[in-house]
Amino acid sequence: NVHYQHCVCSHKNNKPITMEWIAQATGLHRNSVSKSMKWLEDNGYILRRDGRILLNPYFHQKGRQVSKRVLDLFADTPFAKGATEDV
């Protein structure tokens, strides 16, 4: 699940999805998951903050109906350029 306004990737019980959980669920080594997450972050798809994974709202929701604070976190990504903000 991805919280609509805050873009936090979480389980149905709202507990944040962690890299450890992804490694266990996929059967990948934690190092492989870490490298993949770094690539996703370096390319603007996600941010990792306070143990949480945030999905770029410009990629996921085209920047619509998302917290201004979250939009600002992703404002410098390629996905934000030219996106319409309905905040």
Q: Which residues of 60-79 are buried (b: 16+ CB within 10 A; e: fewer)?
A: bbebeebeeebbebbeebeb
Is it the case that residue 85 has pLDDT exceeding 90? no
- The Cα–Cα gap between 41 and 23 comes to 17
pLDDT of residue 3: 66
Q: Among residues of the chain, what percentage have pLDDT more than 90? A: 36
Q: What is this structure's pTM?
A: 0.77
Q: What is the mean pLDDT of residues 51-72?
A: 79
Cβ neighbours, 10 Å, residue 23: 16
Beta-bridged to residue 9, according to DSSP, are: 2
